Amino acid sequence: MSLFGFHYRKLLRCALIACVIQPGFSTHGHAQEAGFVEPAILACEATVERHTSENYRRLATKSLELFQKIYTGEPIPLDAPFTLTGIAAEWDRTVADLSKPVVPDKGQYQAWADMIELARDQSALYRERLAAVQEQDPATLRDRFKPGKWREMPDLSPIWLRDTVCSSITF
């Protein structure tokens, strides 16, 4: 593990500790919530670690380059399907990770369900883009690669995750 990786994991662990002992959070009388918070942070930690990896950054850069090539009419790189498949697979892993924590009460935990839905939407978006690349129809390509609107992170404060690594996942 690199020195950066070591310090990054140490920082993530501190975020976990800060969440569990943040003011206003007590595990007394909140066993279900305490049983959710730690697995949720670990799921977010795994996601952020992958999203900051060299491999994912390379895929994201290639995806942006592909976006630019489609809009300038340049030829689509031969590795475009690999790039889009890799990003979609990463979002599938994110959905799987975020789905692991047991959610005690669906109403209170809507923000968590919203995060999972955002990750599913990202996976679907890249799969649609992959299909468009394989189809090679210029109109379909422009439609599937048009800039999307910014997806805002749900408010995680009701489920004790606002000031944690979970807030750093971008959609």
Lookup: tokens for 139: 């109109």
**Mean pLDDT over all residues of the chain?**
82
Q: What percent of the chain has pLDDT over 90?
A: 54
Contacting residues for 70 by C-beta, under 8 A, at least 6 apart: 76, 141, 142, 145
Cβ atoms of 27 and 55 within 8 Å: the answer is no
Distance of alpha carbon 157 from its chain centroid, rounded?
18
Tell me how far apart the alpha carbons of residues 84 and 80 are, in angstroms, rounded to a whole number.
6
The mean pLDDT of 139-148, rounded to a whole number, is: 89
3-state helix, strand and coil shares in percent for the chain, rounded to the nearest 5: 70, 0, 30
What pLDDT was estimated at residue 103? 82
Contacting residues for 138 by C-beta, under 8 A, at least 6 apart: none
Q: What percent of the chain has pLDDT over 70?
A: 78
Phi, psi at 10, each rounded to 5°: -65, -40
pTM (2 d.p.): 0.78
Q: Other C-beta atoms within 10 Å of 113: how many?
A: 15
Tell me how far apart the alpha carbons of residues 113 and 60 are, in angstroms, rounded to a whole number.
25
Q: pLDDT of 152-163, one tens digit each?
A: 788 888 888 888
Select the more confidently predicted residue: 103 or 90. Answer: 90
Instruction: Band the pLDDT of 31: cuts 50, 70, 90.
Output: very low
